[in-house]
Structures are given as C-alpha cells and as structure tokens.
Amino acid sequence: MAKVCCDFRFLLLVAAGVFIYIQMRLFATQSEYADRLAAAIETENHCTTQSRSLIDQISLQQGRIVALEEERKRRDQECGQMKSLIQDLERKGVQRLIDKIQVPVAAVVVMACNRADYLERTIKSVLKYQRPISSRYPLFISQDGSNPDVKSKALSYDQLSYMQHLDSEPIQTERPGELIAYYKIARHYKWALDQLFYRHNFSRVIILEDDMEIAPDFFDYFEAAAALLDKDKSIMAVSSWNDNGQKHFVHDPYELYRSDFFPGLGWMLAKSTWDELSPKWPKAYWDDWFRLKENHKGRQFIRPEVCRTYNFGKHGSSLGQFFEQYLEPIKLNDVQVDWKSMDLSYLLEAKYAMYFANNVKTAKPVFGADMVLKASNIDGDVRIKYKDQSDFESIASQFGIFQEWKDGVPRTAYKGVVVFRYQSTKRIFLVGPESLKLLQIEDS
C-alpha cells in the first residue's frame, strides 16, 4: 500500500513537470505569436501609412488635375471673350488701324497765301470727305509767305500737315508792269511739289487752291482715275474741272472726257511726270506754260462733264477775271457716283478716239447762220463745224461758252472738238477744220 502511494506521488510529480513544461512551451509559443502579431500589426500599420500617403498623393494630384482643368476652362473662356471683343472692335472700326499701313493713293495739298477766310472754307470742305479716309489721302497746307492769320488757321487743325515757303531771294519780273504774284505762285508750286514728291516721296499729288470746295465723290473719282494715270502714259494729268461746267452746259455726272487742254483747278499729277517738269518749271504763268504743246507733247488730260470742284475765289491774283460769267455758275456735282464699279477703259488711248468719234458721227450736222436757233429745233445731238479760231469764237459767244484758246487749242477741246450740253441733255459738238480727219470720220 505504501509502495502504491509512493508511485502515485511520483506520477504526480511527472505530471506536474509535464504540465509545467507544456505551460512553458505554451507561453513561449504565445510570446512568439505575440511578437509575430506585433510585427504583423507594425507591418500593417506601415503599409497603412504608406497607403494613406499614396492616397494623399493621389488626392493631391487629383486636386491639381481639377485645378488645371478649371484653369484651362477659365483661359478658354477668356480667349473666347477676347475673340468676341476683337470681332466687336473690328465691327466698330478697328479696320482703320490697318488702313494706316496702306500706301496712300495721293497726297492732297492746298496752296495758300494770304486768304485765311477762304482757306478755312476750303479745309472744312476737304475734311468733310477726307477724314474717314485720311490715311489714303494725307492732307497738307502749303503757305507761300508769312501771313500770320493763314499760318494760325492752318496750325489750328490737327488733321493736316503744314508747310511754309519763304522766298530766299527777291523776285524779278521779266517784263515791266507784270504782276509779281504770278512769279511767286510759280515758285511756290515748284517748291511745294518738290517737297511732296522728293522729300515725302508720294507717287501722286492732288493740287487744290485755297478757294475751292469739293464734291462728295471727289476722292473716289481720283482713286478711279489714278488707275488710268498709271496704266496709260498718254494721260498727263487728271482734273476735276470742266471750263464749260456751268449748270446750263452739263447734265451727266458719270461722263468723263479726254482733252488736249489742261483744265487745272483741282488736278492730280504723277511723280514720273513731275520728274520731267520740275527741272524746266517756268518762272511765271505756270498753267499757261503747262498748256504749251511742247510741254504736254501730245499727251492729254482726263476731265469730268460735271465738276468735282467749285471755285468760289472772286478775290485773288487774277482779280476776279471771268468769275461772274464762268466760275460762279459752275455746277458742283452732288451725286455720289460709285466709281469703283465703273468701267473706265473707254478712256484709254487705244479706245477713246473710236468711242468719241462714234458720238460725233451720230450728231446731226448744222450749217449756215443762226446756229443756236437751228440747234434748238433739232432733236438729239448737233454737230457744228468752225473754220478757224475767229469762227470758233463767234459761235462760242452765241452759246455762251469759253472762247479762249491756248497754243492753238480751245478750252476743253479733244482733237479740236469742244462738246457741251444744250437744252438739258442735247450735246453740241463744235468741230474744228481737221477734227473729222483726225477722228477718221467722213466729212458730210
């Protein structure tokens, strides 16, 4: 019995040892598991931190993308607004900024001296139609002398450039009793045209005087005529004036003519022609000199039927010569002709003689005395032949047109033919002794 008890205690000790060993192993395993769990948790926490950092970075990038997209949208909106603004400005006249770089059609110069009141009237008339197209027709005032009122008036306008011509030496007339004014005018013209062609380098110049008003289509007329001047070297200059342009002698504002007689009074000249004329420019009476055959050398001039300038200068160097009879009744065109749409090729030298001859040919010939009465009783155009200058002057005086000749050419004549309206629309052709032959028309 004692031995059995002893064996039982021994078994209890073994069992206790085993239990302790199992507990220790269990504790060691739990510790290892706890360490592994802690490491796993730490790893998980690290991964979580990295994930959160990555998420944060992704969120930041997404925020930046959104911000960039919003910036792009804002810029697109601003660009759209800018484009709309530019289109709006273009509609409102921004094209005028582009016009500034366009090559001018011609410089416009008003020749002035000592009539400030006349000059102001002329400037206002020119600016009325020049202001919207000023870049194509730069305006100059050229004053001869030092009249303070004229200078002050010219300088009071910001829309023009002022030039002043002062004589560097006294003027001597060539013949006793001559007016010195005609010498001063010729010298002034040469100086002003030299300035505009050679100093300012314009290709064309339109010359006005300080006692002129212009028509609404003045600049459109000269722009159309500039193409003719460039293309046809047989055209020496283009004028806006018709010496027989009185109200009762004109009708058609669309009709233009070639003439062997220089009209002046608002005219356009090309630089190539001035290159020829400047070295031999006369000391006086420049306009009569211009009309000499030796100077125009068979070249001709373009003129309108209805004047595009009106001369109101009753008081001047010519002392009002012919003013009441010939200048005051002039008809200034008041029709806005669309010259850009007009075909003016009939005025070219190769075509014009035939064009004009057909008009003369269809006119009914009238002979004998009482030309005015006979012409009045005929329907349609009339053709009247004159024998010489004296005969022309007699017939012209009956109708009331200009009788004057210069170097064998009547005013306004083309190949000796002077044409004017009579009784509204009827045309009268005064035909010279050689005119029909020059126009290749059989004499009936």
Q: Which of 356, 354, 352, 428 is nearest to 385 (CA)?
A: 428
106 contacts 222 by C-beta, under 8 angstroms:
yes
Rg of the chain over CA atoms, in angstroms?
A: 48
244 contacts 327 by C-beta, under 8 angstroms:
no
Candidate list 76, 194, 287, 443, residue with the active-site label: 287
Indicate the SS3 state at residue 386: coil
Nearest 10 degrees: Cα torsion 246, 247, 253, 258: -20
Tell me how many helices (H) and strands (E) the chain has. Answer: 13, 16
Rounded to whole angstroms, the Cα distance separating 17 from 14 reads 5
393 contacts 385 by C-beta, under 8 angstroms:
no
Backbone angles phi, psi at 236, to 5 degrees: -85, -35
Identify the residue whose tokens are 């005013």: 411
Backbone angles phi, psi at 52, to 5 degrees: -65, -40
Tokens, residue 358: 């057909």
417 contacts 356 by C-beta, under 8 angstroms:
yes
Angle of CA points 351, 356, 361, to nearest 5° = 130
Task: Determine if residue 287 is left, alpha or beta; phi over 0 gives left, psi from -120 to 50 gives alpha, anything else beta.
Answer: alpha
Provide the β-strand partners of residue 383: 365, 429
What sign for the dihedral angle of Cα 249, 250, 251, 256? positive
Q: Which of 243, 240, 398 is nearest to 329 (CA)?
A: 243
Rounded to whole angstroms, the Cα distance separating 400 from 250 reads 13
Provide the β-strand partners of residue 259: 301
What stretch of H or E contains 213? strand 212-214
Residue 287 among the catalytic residues: yes
Rounded to the nearest angstrom, the gap between the alpha carbon of residue 227 and the centroid of all alpha carbons in its chain is: 13
**Which of the residues are catalytic?**
287
